Chains A and B, each alone.
Chain A
């Protein structure tokens, strides 16, 4: 079975532009998470979705960041007016359900570089 996939694998953008990052979770997984991995900040939680419940957005660093999950499957993370500090690897993970007992499976990440 396919794992979590993310696209694009690399994205270079100019400061001030908007970017969209896509995540395809494992089929049947109802929970989907976004994390960010950057030098100096390590791995940070951004947002998670569980079924039809309201997402937990507590990790989003600013209102320039938003995410949606359509049809309970694919998710898109959008960063508006990108800044250089947004440069990082954005990781998506999915699990059968939320809750610590459910293993999160990570995708390969999207490396975002803001010039």
Chain B
């Protein structure tokens, strides 16, 4: 069965620090990969996605993620975080024969200190 693992449950950073959130998945076929973000009191929204092509994808607000197929990983990065990045981040996977359903990781809560 598909599964997604996010290694960090809660990350606390100071502004301007660099961020990397880990995400690993298990699935034997082709995957589509996503990072979603949920700001306090707001809906889940898409941060970035990978379907094919360049394994380094760029999303909104300066975020990027790299798909490393050999490691089954899709880590999220940002070189310099801001207080406004405080949110919960979810990695999600969609397998090639899974219709559109997303399998989510447990989420990582990011707190950025001003």
Q: Which residues of A contact B (CB under 8 A)?
A: 3-4, 31, 33, 35, 42-45, 48, 50, 56, 58-59, 91, 93, 95, 97-104, 106-109
Contact = CB atoms under 8 A, between A and B. Distances in A.
Contact of B105 (A3, A42, A95, A109): A42
Contacts of B43: 3-4, 106-109
A48 B100 contact: yes
Nearest to B42: A108
A91 B45 CA distance: 12
Interface residues of B, number: 24
Contacts of B90: 42-43
A98 B105 contact: no
A31 B98 CA distance: 13
B102 interface: yes
A99 B107 CA distance: 22
Nearest to A45: B101
A95 B100 contact: yes
Contacts of B51: 100-101
Contact of A33 (B31, B46, B100, B103): B100
B104 A43 contact: yes
B100 A42 contact: no
A106 B105 contact: no
Interface string B80-114: 00000000001010111011111111110000000
- Residue picked from A93, A95, A100, A109, most chain B C-beta under 10 Å: A100
A101 B96 CA distance: 10
Contact of B99 (A50, A93, A108): A50
B45 A106 contact: yes
Given A31-B100, A91-B44, A107-B43, A101 B32 contact: yes
Contacts of A31: 100
A75 B96 CA distance: 25
A80 B31 CA distance: 35
